[in-house]
Structure 1
Amino acid sequence: MDLNELIETFDFIEDWEERYRILIDLGRKLPEFPEAERTEANRVEGCTSNVWLVCHRDESDPERLVFIADSDAFIVKGLIALVLMAYSRATPEEIQQTDIRDLFRRLGLERNLSPNRRDGFYAMVDRIHELAAEAQAA
């Protein structure tokens, strides 16, 4: 599922329990996160749940960045999947230009997630922007 399919699905499904199930399913499909990367340096500050995020250059296209992430909370893993759909395999310039907050609002997450989860979501986005800026400067 890509972001456009997710938006269409959320537009069609009004029940938030069902939307949460979709998010949880997306989180279950995240690639395995290496245990060695579960370090304090890779932990995202500002998240109530533990979230680890790692960035590296795409081997087939070094202009693009690949992100992998994980959390110890099911809903947060789904939010991670959203963030990765928006940002992984993008260039640092594309990342800086992507307005994830608009997507967050379009999906109805702004009003249906707890303030802590919403803040954690934006903390992940801020960290991705920081990593993109570092990659751009390198």
Structure 2
Amino acid sequence: MTYPEALQELVEEFQAIDDKRERLEMLFELADEVVELPQDQWDEDTRVRGCQSEAHVRIGIAEGRIQFLSSADARMVQGLMGILTIALDGLTPAQAVLIPPSFAEEMGLLNTLTPSRSNGFRNMYDKVMAELRQNKGD
């Protein structure tokens, strides 16, 4: 599958790293990519259910493009959000919903995370995609 350019580059960067520890370090660095959702805007609508940490995402659409806002109480989860920020920010909802969750497996990301973190990432992805499908017509 061909992904949007920024995500394709990220997939290739992760694939080039064999060491699990280095992948985790890169994941922590990706936390800096997040456009933060202020904590006073966290609520049940933004909460990612099934995530080990307190995690929140909000999808905005401006001029037909996604604005991905997110925040979490754990840096690793922020890094996972950074991946979704890189993958989705600036795309149209119609483009974004075509991105399958398999990119995380191709990256080698799921082998790097604990099962509960992998599950949390999938829950985050599913929440975002459900919201984007609702906004696709906007």
After TM superposition, the score normalised by the length of structure 2 is 0.86
Query: How far apart are the structure 2 equivalents of 1:98 and 1:29?
Result: 19
Change (3 A) 1:29 1:88: closer
Match of 2:3 in 1: none
Greater helix share, structure number: 1
Alpha-carbon offset, residue 137 of structure 1: 4.5
Give the distance between the partners of 1:114 and 1:49, measured in 2 at CA: 13
Q: Where do 1:1-138 residues align within 5 Å?
A: 2-58=6-62, 62-99=63-100, 101-138=101-138
Indicate the SS of the match to 2:64.
coil
Note the residue ranges of structure 1 that are not aligned, 5 or more in a row.
Answer: none
Structure with greater contact order relative to length (CA < 8 Å, sep ≥ 6): 2
Q: How far 1:108 moved relative to its partner?
A: 0.8
* Post-superposition CA distance 1:47-105 (Å, at most 9, x none): 111111011112xxx21221110111111111111111112222121122111x22111
Please state how far the C-alpha of 1:5 moved relative to its aligned partner: 3.2
* Contact in 2 for aligned 1:43/1:50 (Cα 8 Å): yes
Deviation at 1:8, TM superposition (A): 3.0
When normalised by structure 1's length, the TM-score is 0.86
Contact 1:37 1:54 (8 Å CA) reproduced: no
CA–CA separation in structure 2 for the residues paired with 1:64 and 1:72: 27
2:104 is paired with a residue whose SS is helix
1:81-137 CA distance string (max 9 Å, x none): 1111112222121122111x2211111122221111111111111111111122125
